[in-house]
Structure 1
Amino acid sequence: MKVAILFLVAFISLILESTVFNEFTLLKIKPDLLLIYVSLFALQKGSKKGASFGFGIGLLEDLFMAKFIGMNALVKAIVGFGIGFLEKRIYKENFLVPIIMVMVGTIIAGFGFYILSLILGIPISINHFKVIVLPMLLYNILLTPIIKFVFFKTNIRRY
C-alpha cells in the first residue's frame, strides 16, 4: 500500500508535468516534477531507497514519455542514490537544504542526460546546459518549496 501511494503521487506528477506544465513553461522549458520528488524522497529516506525510488519513477517516466527506455531510470536512480547518500550527513530540517539538493539533483541529471546522449550517439548541443538545464534549474528551485509542502508533508514522512 505504501509503495502504491508513492507511485500514485508520482503518476499524478507525471500527468501534471505532461499537461498543465506544458502550458506554463519558463523559457520554453518545463520543470521536472519527478526529479524534485525523487530528490526530496532520497533526502528523507537514504541512498538505497532513493536509488530504488528514482529508478522506478524514472522507468515510469520512460514508459510514458521517453524515446529511449532506461535513460530517465538510470539518471533518476543516480540522483536518488547521490542525494540519499547525504541523508545522514546534513541537517535536513533547514529550509534551504531541500532547495540545494534539488539544485544538485538537477545539475547531476543534466550532466547524466548529456553524457548518456553522447554515449548513445544522440545529437545534443553544447549549449544544453544554458538552454535547458539552467531554466529547468530555476523552475525546479521555484517549485521545490511548494512540492515539499504538498508531497513531503502528506506522503513521504509516513512511509
Structure 2
Amino acid sequence: MRHVKVLLAAVLVFALQTTVISQLRIYGVVPNLILVTLLLMVLLPRDRSGIEFALIAGFLQDLFTAKALGTNVFIYVLIVMFFYYFKEMYFGENRISVVAGVVIATILYHLIFFITVIFLRDQYRSVLTVLGTAGIEAVYNSLLALAVLPLGRKWFESDFGI
C-alpha cells in the first residue's frame, strides 16, 4: 500500500508542477515542487520513501519534459542520498532546517544539472547564470516549502500518509 501511495504522490506532485506551478513564474524562474516535496519526505521523521519518490517523480519529469532520460532521476537520487546521510547531524524538524535544506538542495540541483549538461554536450549557460537562477529558485522554493510544510507534516506523519 505504501508503494501505491508513493506512486500517487509522485504523479500528483508532477501534475501540479507541470500545470499549476509552471504558471507561477517570477523572472522566468519556476519553483520546483518535486524537489520541495522530496526534501520534506527526507526531513520529516516517519517517512522513508525518499528514494522511491525520487525515482518515480524524476522519471516522470524526464519522460515528459527533459531532453535526456535519467537526468532528473540521477539528480534527485543524489540529493536524497546526501540529505539522508546528513539528516541526523545537521537537519531537524523546524522551519529553519527545512528552509536551509531547500536552499542547499536547490543549489545542488542546479550545479549537478549544470555538470550533467556539460557531460551530455548540450547547450549550457554560464555558471553565473546558473547560480543566479538557483538563487531566485532557492528563495521561491523556500517560500513554497514553508507554505506546504503543514500539509506535508499531516500527510507524511499520519497513519494515512506514506
Q: TM-score, normalised by structure 1?
A: 0.88
Which residue among 128, 131, 134 is the counterpart of 1:129? 131
Measure the CA separation in 2 of the matches of 1:63 and 1:153. 30
Give the drift of 1:57. 2.1
Opposite residue 42 of structure 1, the aligned amino acid is: V
User: Deviations 1:15-64 (Å, cap 9, x if unpaired)?
Assistant: 11111122211111111100111111122369x85344323321122122
Distance 2:123 2:105 in 1: 23
Partner residue in 1 for 2:6: 6
Aligned positions, number: 157
Instruction: Confirm or deny: 8 A CA contact 1:55 1:76 kept in the other structure.
Output: yes
RMSD: 2.0
Contact 1:53 1:77 in 2 (8 A): no
Give ranges in structure 1 of 5+ residues lacking alignment.
none
What amino acid maps onto 1:150 in structure 2? L
Of residues 87-96 and 113-122 in structure 1, the stretch that sits farther from structure 2 once superposed is 87-96
State the alpha-carbon separation in 2 of the partners of residues 121 and 88 from structure 1. Answer: 37
Q: Which runs of 5+ in 2 are unaligned?
A: none
Instruction: Give the 3 Å change call, closer, same or farther, for CA 62–152 of structure 1 in structure 2.
Output: farther
* Contact persistence 2:10–2:56 (CA under 8 A): no
Deviates more, 1:66-75 or 1:18-27: 18-27
Residues 133 and 91 of structure 1, relative CA distance in 2, 3 Å threshold:
closer
Residue 94 of structure 1: how far off its partner (Å): 2.0
Letter in 1 for 2:117: S
Contact 1:41 1:156 in 2 (8 A): no
- Provide the C-alpha distance between the structure 2 equivalents of 1:67 and 1:129, rounded to a whole number of angstroms: 21
User: Identity of counterpart residues, as a percentage?
Assistant: 22
Equivalent in the alignment of 2:143: 142
